[in-house]
Structure 1
Amino acid sequence: MDAAPQGYPERNRGIAARAAFWTASVAAVALSAGSVVAPAAVAISVAGNSAVDYWEDLPGELPLDRSLPQHTVLLDKEGNEFARFYSENRIDVSLDQVSDIFLQTLITTEDFRFYEHHGVDPYGITRALVNNAISDDIQGASTITQQLVQNILVNNARDATEEAVAVGDTYNAKIREARYAVELEERLTKDEILNRYVNAVYFGNQAYGVEAAARIYFSTTAAKLNRAQSALLVGMLKAPGHYDPIRNPDAATQRRNTVISVLQDRAVISAEEARKLSKAPLGLKRGSVPSSCGDSKYPFYCAVVREEILTDPAFGATPEERQDRLSRGGMTLTTALDPKAAKAAQKAVLEALGTGNRAALGTAVVEPGTGHIAAIAQNRKWGSGKGRTEVVYAKQAFQVGSSMKPIVLATALSQGIPASTRLAANGPYHSVLDNPPGGYINYGNRDYGVIDAYAAIRSSVNVYFIRMIERTGVRNVAKFARTLGITSLPIDQLGGLEASLALGAYEVSPLEMAGAYAAFMSGGVVCRPVAVVAAERSDTGEKLPVPDPGCRQAIDPAVADTVADVLKEPFKPGGTLGLLGGPKGREAGAKTGTTNDFAANWIVGATPQLSAAVWLGDPRGGTAYPLNRVQAYGKTFHDLTGSEVAGPVWKATVEGALKGRPALPLPEAESSVASRIAQQAVPDVRGLKVDEALTVLLRNDLRPVIRTKTAAPNELYPADTVVRQSPAPGKKLRYRQKVELTLSDGSRTGITVPEER
C-alpha cells in the first residue's frame, strides 16, 4: 500500500458488511439538493440480515478500465509538441507531480478522515445531519472516494441506474454511490484513489484536474501550487461556476478564506498565517492550454491528423469507436511532420501570395518509400472569416491538368510501349476517342512533328498523350492511377472514350498526386500517405496501433525508374521549367499542369527524399474565378501557367526541406524495360468457356478474335468452349496483340467482343 502523506496515517481497511451497510444507509441521508431523508426511513426499509443481503446484492464494480477524457498530444518527427486537442481539458499527473501543500489543503477541507474511513464517513454524515437540522448553511458529507465515484460515472455510466448515481440526488442513488465507494476502496489504495480524484475533478473554465487548473488560473503547474493558490482551487470544488475567480472574484475570495479558516481550525496553519493569506489578493495569472488545431503552429497538418483519427481503422473499427477514441484522448501521437519541410512550405506559399489573396496555394509533401506526410501548407489562416478557412486544400480534389501525363506514360511503359515511341504531335488532332470542339491542340497552338515521350514531357505536348492514351486505353490509365494510390477517378463510370483523362480533366488531391509521384522515386513502391507514425497511451506508455501505409511493390521498378528519368526533361533548356531550373545542387523530376481556361495551376515533382505537389487556384471555383489575373510576388500575372507561381513555390519548398541533406541522383531509365515487360507470355485459355477466355485476354490487354469456323465435333468439348488459340500459349506477349480463338462445334461464333479501353 502506498504511503499516506505526513499527518494522515493509513488505517486497517477491513470492513464488515453490516457496518458498511449502516454507513451507507446513513450516507444516503447526506444532502442532495438540500433535502434530508430521515434515518428512520432506512431502518424501516431493511433490517438485520436482510440489510446485509440487500447491501451485498448491490452492484459495486466500477468501469475503472475506461479512463476519463484527456488530451491528445501531437508531436513532430523530432518529438516536439505542435498541437493538442481534447473534449475535456484534463492533463493527468501523478501524486508526486502535485504539491504537498495542495494535497494537504484538499484533504483537510474536503475529507479530513480520508485515510481513516473506508469509502464513506459516518462521522462526517452525522456532523452534516446535525448542522443541516439547525442551520441554513447546508453541508455535504460525500468523501473524496464518493466524489470520485460520481466523476467516474459522469463519463462512463453504463446504464440509467449508474447515470442516476452520477447525479446523486435520490436516496437509492446515494446508497448505490456508497456501495461503489466501499468497493472502490477494496480495489485501489488510498493514494491511487487520491491520484484519480485530483485528475478528475472540475475547477471551472474548462479545467479538469489540478494540472489544467494550475495552468489556467496561475500559469503554473500543480507541483508549484502554494497555499493561497491551493486554497482558492480547493474552495472552487464546491461550486466551480459560483466561485469562479475570473467572473466572481468576491465570491471566490470569500470561499478561499473559508478554506483558510478550516486549515487554521484544524491546526494546519497558524492564526498569523491565516490572517496574511486571507488578506492576500487572488493572484490570478491567466494561462491557457492549446485546445484545438487553431492554436497550433501547423493547424492544417493538425487537421489532417484529426481526420486520420476519425477515419482510420487503427483508431477503431467503426466511426463511433473512432469518435469515442478522439473524445477520450489520452494519446500521444508522433507524426511524420518534418519541421524543416513544414517551415519551408509555409514560407513559400506566404511569400508568393500572402494570406489575403483571392488565389490560394495548397502544398503536400510526402516521403517516398514510407508514405509519411512531411508537410502540409497553404496561404490561409485557420478559422472562419476573410482570409481564413478550415478546409485543407491538400486533401481536396481538383483538376490536375498536365501533371497527369506521366501517369499515362507509366501505363504505357507497363504495357511494353517504350518511352522511345514516336508519335505525330501536331494539332488540331481528332482522336478516335472523344474530342473537344475543333479537336485537340497543344498549348499555344504549337506543332512538334513526330516526337518521343521525352520530348513530349519536356514541352508538355497534349496531342502526343492523346495518341498515347488511345494505345493504352482510358480505363487502363485510370486503373494504373488507382494502383499509384489515386482514389478519386471514377473508373466504374468511364466508358473508355474519355481521352481528356490524359490531360488531367479529372480531379485528384495534391496529397494523392504527391504520393503517386513518390512511387516513381522509390522504385515502384506505393504507400498510402499517413500522418501518424507512432502512438502510445499518455498515462501508461502502452503502444497503440497506428495507420498502415501499406507500402508495397505495386509497379515494376523499371517502369518507375524510366518515368523518373523522363521527369528530368522539363528542367532542360526549352522545357516548361527550363527558365525556373531545378532545386539548387540536386536532381529532381517534375511536371507542371495548367487546366482549361486557366482554372488552376499545378506542379508535382520529386527527388528520392521527398515528393511535393502544389495546387494554385481560387477556392470559390476555378471555372468562375480563373487565374487570368493574379497578384503574386508583388506583381501582376496574367493567364497563369504552372511554371510561374506554383513552380517557384515548389522549388523553394524542396530546397528548404532538403537543406543540409545529401543530394541523391534520380533513377536512370532502364533501356530494356519495354522489351522485358513485353516478354510476358500469352495466357492459355484453351478449355475455358468463351466468356471466361475473353475476360482473361482482355485483362492482359490482348485483342480476342473469334473465328467463324468451329472445330470438328468432339464430345470432350461442349458448346461455347475454346478448343484452339493462336498464337499458342507461352508465346511472347505483345501489347494489344490479336489472339484468335477457335470454338467447339455448336458454339456461337457471332459473339461481339467488347473492346477494353
Structure 2
Amino acid sequence: MSSRPQRPHGRPDAGRVASHLAVMGAVAVVMGVLAACLAIPFAGLVGVAAKDVSKGMVNLPESIEAKDLSQKTRIYDVNGNLIASLYDQNRINVPLSSISRPMVKAIVAIEDYRFYDHGALDLKGTLRAFITNQANGGSVQGGSSITQQMVKQTLLYQAETDEERKAATEETYARKIRELRYAIAFEKNHTKDWILERYLNIAYFGDGAFGVQSAARHFFSKNAKDLNLLESATLAGLVKNPVGYDPIDNPERAESRRNVVLDRMAQLGILTEKKAERLSSKPIGKTLKIETSPNGCQQSRAPFFCDYVVNWLLKDPVLGDTPKERRRTLNNGGLTINTTINLDMQKGADDAVSSHVFQTDQAIGGLAMVEPGTGDVRAIAQSRPMGKDKQGGETYLNYVVPKKYGDANGFQAGSTFKVFVLAEAINQGIPLSTTISSPQEMNIPDEAFENCDGPYAGDGEGWNVSNSTGSGTFDLYSGTQQSVNTFFAQLETQTGMCEPLRLAADMGVKVPLAQKVPSWILGVSDSNPLEIAQAYATFAARGLHCEPRPVTQVLDSSGQVLKDFAPDCEQVMPGATADAVNDILRGVMEPGGFGQNIAIDKPSAGKTGTNQNNMSVWFAGYTPTISTAAMVAGANEFGEWVSLNGQVVGGTYISEAFGSTVAGPIWGDAMAAASPNLPYEDFQAPPGDEIAGVLTSVPDVTGQAVEAATAQLEAAGFTVADGGQVNSEVEAGLVASTSPEAGTALSTGDTVTIYGSTGYVPPPATEGGNGNGNGNGNGRGRGRGRG
C-alpha cells in the first residue's frame, strides 16, 4: 500500500471530488487520442464504440445500490460446535481491520498500486490499456482501477437475469464506461477503505472461495487477519484468474503468479528484493493447508437433524414472507443458528441405531431424544443415511420427524398410545388398584365406547380385541406393565374416547378423524420417534408438555438477534397424574418388566409398542431429564411396509418382533451412552391423597421409634395400626416388625400394623416343658405365665 496516510472514514476530500469532475472530459480526450493515432480500419470501431457509449450514458442511473453480499449460514450445536454450513457462495464478510496489512498491501500492489492516489479512473493505466487493446484487436481488458473492478463484481453479483449477467461481463467500451460512471458515484459517496473492503469481500479467489476470509480459511486454514506476506501474495495473485492460477490444480502457475506479486511489491519498495527472492524460492505446496467448507446438510455431522432445522426454520416468517425468501435468507444471509443438538448424545444415537439396523436391511431404524421441560431436541438418528443411492440404502426422507419437516408418513406406534388412556383414567379418579378381568380375547359392543358426541356408532359388529401377553385379572399397574389389550379396551369404556384423544392432542399426538375408533389406543395411526419422545417427555416433566424445539436463537450476519425461540410449554395434566404414570411405567424397567434388560443406571420408566403383524415395533422410555423413543419398521427395497417377522435385521434373524426385543436394545444403547452425562434424579412419588389406589412399597421402619415409624408410614399414604408388642432382639420400645412386611406393595390408604419390641428373646423350649408356655410362637404365652 502507498505510504500516504489513509483518509478517515466519511466523505471523500475536496481534491478527490474535484478530480471526478474532469473524468468525463478525460474520457473524451482518450477517445480523441485514439481517433487521431489509430489507423483508418479502427476508426469505424471507435465510432461504433462512441455511439454505444453515448446511448449508454444517457440511459444510465447516476449510481447503483451496493447490496449486502451473500454470506454462508452456520449452524451450531448446544455447545457452540459447528455442525453445518449453508451457502450459495462460500463467503464470510470481514471488515478491513480484520484483514492483515500484508494482504492489503499485496492486493493494492498488484491490482492498483496508485489506488489511494487517484479517483475512480487511473488515467495513465486506462489510456495505456485502450491503446494496447486496440493494437491487439480491440479487446477490452486491463487498466481498471480497484474501484472499477469492484463495480464489475457488484454488477455481476446483483444481476438477476441472463441479460444482466451478459451486460456485466461483455467486452465492450460501453461496459467500461458504465463501470466508470458507477465507480465515480462510489468514490463520491464512500471512502477508499470502504471500497477496498468491499472489493476484498466480493472478489472470487477460486475453488469455491468468495472473499478473502473464506479464501484464507480454505487455502491456509487461518483467518484473513493472520495472513503472512507469502500467503497474502498467493491470494492477491489469484483474483486475476482464479481458475488458471488455482494453487491446488495448477500449483506451478500459481507459484509463478505469486512470485510476480512479490516482485511487484519489491519494485514498489514494500519489501526488499532480497526478501522477495527468498520468499519466491519456497514451493507453494508447502505453504498450503487446505480446509474444506462442507455445504449443506448431507455433509453435516448430523445430517437429518440439520435437515430438520432447515425445514423447521422455513416455516418461520422471521426469515421472509415466503418459503422462497426464507430459503434465500438461509443460504445467503450469513446467519448464525444456535440449535439444541448435543453431539455426544447424537453420536450415541447414531451408533445405537446403526449397530442394530443396517442401512441395506429390509427395515428402518430411528430414534429421537428430547429434553423434558424445554422440548429441546438433543438427537435424532436413523439407519438409512442421507443420499440418493437407494440401492445402497440411502434416502432423503427423514423418518424420525413429523411429515411436514421430513416428508415421511411415519409408522404405526402400537401400544405406546395406551398411556393416553392410562393418564386420563387417573385424571378421572379411577383408582390405580382397580382390577379388571381381562380374557385372552373378547368382543366389546360399539355403544360401550363414548365419544365426544355420545355412544360411538360403529359398524354394529363391535371391537374384537385379543391379547398377545396372556389373560388374567389386572390392575392399572400390572395391566400397563404387561400391556394387556383387553384390559385397556375395557378401561377405555370407563374413560370414554373423547378425553383420552383430547389429552393425546395436548401432548402433541393428533389422531386423524378417520382413525378415532375404539382401537386407536393400539397405535393404529402413524407417528414418528420425535412425536412419541416429546409426548413421553410430558410425563417426565410432571405434566408440562413442550413442543419440540430444535433452534434456540437465530442471529443475522452482524450478530444481532433476529429471533429468540423460547420453550413453548403448557401444563396439560396435574403433576400428580404424571407422577402416577411414572410410578406405573418405571415398573417396566424393573425386574420382571419388559425393559429390565435395557435399564440404565438412572431411574427410568418406559413402554413398549408393537403393531399388528409386527410391521413396526417401539420402545419409548425416559428419565426425569431425557426422553427417548426408538423404532424399527419393516420396509423392502420398493418402499413397501412389510412384517419384521422372518427378517434379518442388524445381522440378527427375527422370528417374531417385539418392542422390547428389537427396538428396546437401540433405546438401551443410546441411553447408556447418554447416562454418564445425565444427573441422578428420581421421579416424584405420586401423592396418595390426590391419586386413588397408588401402590406404594411398605418402607422398612424396623428399629425406629414407634412415633417416627408411624409418621413415615403415614407420609407414604398408609393407615397405621398398633399391633402391640412382640418379643424380638430389637431394643425395647422400638419397632420390631410390620405387617405386611417391608417391600410389600399396597394401595394408598391400606393399613400397615406396627409391632413394638419387648427387647426380650425367650430361650429355646426344653424337653418336657409346658407346651402351652410358648406355643403361640411370639412369646406372649410365656410372658403371661411369668406374670
Q: TM-score, length-normalised on structure 2? A: 0.74
Quote the residue 1:369 is aligned against: 373
The residue that corresponds to 1:613 in the other structure is 629
1:117 to 1:428, Cα distance in 2 relative to 1, 3 A = same
* Aligned mate of 2:411, from 395, 398, 405: 398
- Structure 1 position 426, deviation (Å): 1.4
Select the residue among 527, 532, 537 that pairs with 2:556. Answer: 537
> Aligned runs of 1:562-711 on 2, under 5 Å?
562-577=580-595, 579-580=596-597, 582-584=599-601, 586-620=602-636, 623-632=641-650, 635-671=652-688
Q: Secondary structure at the match of 1:68?
A: coil
- Note the C-alpha offset of 1:375: 1.3
- Aligned partner of residue 526 in structure 1, secondary structure: strand
AA in 2 matched with 1:601: V
8 A Cα contact 2:635 2:642, kept in partner: no
Match of residue 461, structure 1, among 484, 489, 506: 484
Q: CA deviation at 1:609?
A: 0.7
| 8 Å CA contact 1:418, 1:673 repeated in 2 | no
Instruction: Map residues 310-459 of structure 1 onto 2, 5 A cutoff.
Output: 310-353=314-357, 357-385=361-389, 386-395=392-401, 396=408, 397-414=410-427, 417=430, 419-433=432-446, 439-444=464-469, 446-449=470-473, 451-459=474-482
User: Which amino acid is 1:352 matched to?
Assistant: H
Q: What is the CA-CA distance between 1:373 and the residue it aligns to?
A: 0.5
Report the Cα offset of residue 380 of structure 1. 4.3
Contact 1:404 1:504 in 2 (8 A): yes
In 1, the alpha carbon distance for the partners of 2:467 and 2:332 equals: 55
Partner of 1:247: 249
Residues 50-109 of structure 1 show CA distances to partners (whole Å, capped at 9, x for unaligned) of 99xx69x82424144xx3222222222122223223221113333344332222121111
Q: How much does 1:623 deviate?
A: 3.8
Find the aligned partners of 1:442 and 1:314 in 2 and give their Cα distance.
50
| CA distance 1:173–1:556, shift in 2 (3 Å) | farther
Relative to structure 1, is the Cα distance of residues 317 and 165 closer, same or farther in structure 2, using a 3 angstrom cutoff? same
Q: Compute the RMSD of aligned alpha carbons.
A: 3.7
1:459-515 per-residue CA deviation (whole Å, 9 max, x = no partner) reads: 00111222333444445544332211225x323x34x4x222110111111101111
> For the structure 1 residues 246 and 587, does the alpha-carbon distance in structure 2 shift closer, same or farther, using more than 3 Å as the test?
closer
1:159-198 → structure 2 map (5 Å cutoff)? 166-167=168-169, 169=171, 173-198=175-200
- SS of 2:345's equivalent? helix
Aligned-pair CA distance for 1:110: 1.1
> Cα offset for 1:135?
4.0
Q: 1:162 to 1:5 in 2, by over 3 A?
A: farther
The answer as to whether partners of 1:24 and 1:178 remain within 8 angstroms in 2 is no
Distance 1:644 1:43, change over 3 A: closer
Counterpart of 2:224? Answer: 222
Once residues 468 and 20 of structure 1 are traced to their aligned partners in structure 2, the CA distance between those partners, rounded to angstroms, is: 90
The AA in structure 2 aligned to 1:459 is Q
Question: Are the structure 2 counterparts of residues 46 and 516 from structure 1 closer, same or farther at C-alpha, using a change threshold of 3 Å?
Answer: same
> 2: distance between equivalents of 1:548 and 1:204?
41
State the shift of 1:276 in Å.
Answer: 5.2
Distance 1:286 1:569 in 2: 55
CA distance in 2, matches of 1:607, 1:27: 81
Q: 1:292: Cα distance to partner? A: 3.0
Paired amino acid for 1:99? S
Asked if the contact 2:62–2:185 (Cα under 8 Å) also holds between the matched residues in 1, the reply is no
Aligned match of 1:733: none
After TM superposition, the structure 1 = structure 2 runs for residues 149-168 of structure 1, keeping only pairs within 5 Å, are 149-157=151-159, 166-167=168-169
**Shift of residue 437, structure 1, vs aligned partner:** 11
Residue 291 in structure 1 maps to residue 315 in structure 2: no
Give distance in 2, aligned partners of 1:44 and 1:380: 59
Question: What is the Cα deviation at residue 138 of structure 1?
Answer: 5.9
Matched with 2:507 is 484
Equivalent of 1:560 in 572, 578, 581: 578
Report how far residue 318 of structure 1 moved. Answer: 2.0
Q: Following TM superposition, by how much is the alpha carbon of 1:394 offset from its aligned partner in structure 2, in angstroms?
A: 1.5
CA 1:149 to 1:629, structure 2 compared with 1: closer, same or farther past 3 Å?
A: same
**Greater Cα offset, 84-93 or 249-258:** 249-258
Count of residues paired in the alignment: 652
SS of residue paired to 1:142: coil
Identify the residue that residue 281 of structure 1 maps to in structure 2: 283
Farther off after superposition, 466-475 or 231-240: 466-475
Q: Could you tell me which residue of structure 1 aligns to residue 75 of structure 2?
A: 74
**Gap change, CA 1:626 and 1:354, over 3 Å in 2:** closer
1:500 equivalent in structure 2: 519
Does the alignment pair 1:19 with 2:22?
yes
Distance 1:45-1:253 versus aligned 2 partners, 3 A rule: closer
Partners in 2 of 1:555 and 1:485 — Cα distance?
13
| Deviation digits for residues 667-714 of structure 1 (CA, Å, limit 9, x no counterpart) | 333456579xxxxxxxxxxxxxxxxxxxxxxxxxxxxxxxxxxxxxxx
3-state SS of 2:74 partner = strand
Residue ranges of structure 2 left out of the alignment (5+ in a row): 35-41, 402-407, 447-457, 693-787
- Structure 1 counterpart SS, 2:180: helix
Give the counterpart letter for 1:642 in structure 2. G
Q: What do residues 366-412 of structure 1 show as CA deviations (whole Å, max 9, x unaligned)?
A: 11111111112234444343244443332142110111110222344
> Does 2:66 correspond to 1:60?
no
| CA distance in structure 2 between the aligned counterparts of 1:661 and 1:27, rounded to whole angstroms | 76
| 1:513-552 paired onto structure 2 within 5 Å | 513-538=532-557, 540-547=558-565, 549-552=567-570
Matched, 1:301 2:326: no
- Contact 1:630 1:638 (8 Å CA) reproduced: no
Distance across 2 between alignment mates of 1:216 and 1:401: 50
- Within 2, Cα distance between the matches of 1:176 and 1:485? 59
Letter in 1 for 2:78: K
The answer to which of 207-216 and 10-19 deviates more is 10-19
Secondary structure of 1:84's partner?
A: strand
Q: Which residue of 2 aligns with 1:731?
A: none
**Distance in structure 2 (CA, Å) of the matches to 1:663 and 1:370:** 18
Cα offset, 1:113, TM superposition: 2.0
For residue 86 of structure 1, what is the aligned residue in structure 2? 87
* Contact 1:400/1:505 (<8 A) preserved: yes
Query: Are the counterparts in 2 of residues 314 and 547 from structure 1 also a CA contact under 8 Å?
Result: no
Q: Give the drift of 1:354.
A: 5.5
Alpha-carbon spacing, 1:210–1:23, altered in 2? closer, same or farther (3 Å) = farther
Using the TM superposition, name which of 544-553 and 412-421 deviates more: 412-421
Distance 1:459 1:22, change over 3 A: farther
User: Normalised by the size of structure 1, how large is the TM-score?
Assistant: 0.77
CA contact (8 A) 2:362 2:634 kept: yes
Q: Give the secondary structure class of the aligned counterpart of 1:365.
A: strand
- The letter of the residue matching 1:392 is N
Determine if contact 2:2/2:113 at 8 Å carries over to the other structure: no
Aligned partner of 1:531: which letter?
P
Gap regions ≥5 residues in structure 1: 676-757
Local SS of the residue matching 1:646: helix
The 2-side partners of 1:432 and 1:28 are apart by 99
- For 1:112, the equivalent position in structure 2 comes to 113
Of structures 1 and 2, the larger Rg is shown by 2
Shift of 1:26: 8.2
Kept in 2: contact 1:599–1:626 (CA 8 A): yes
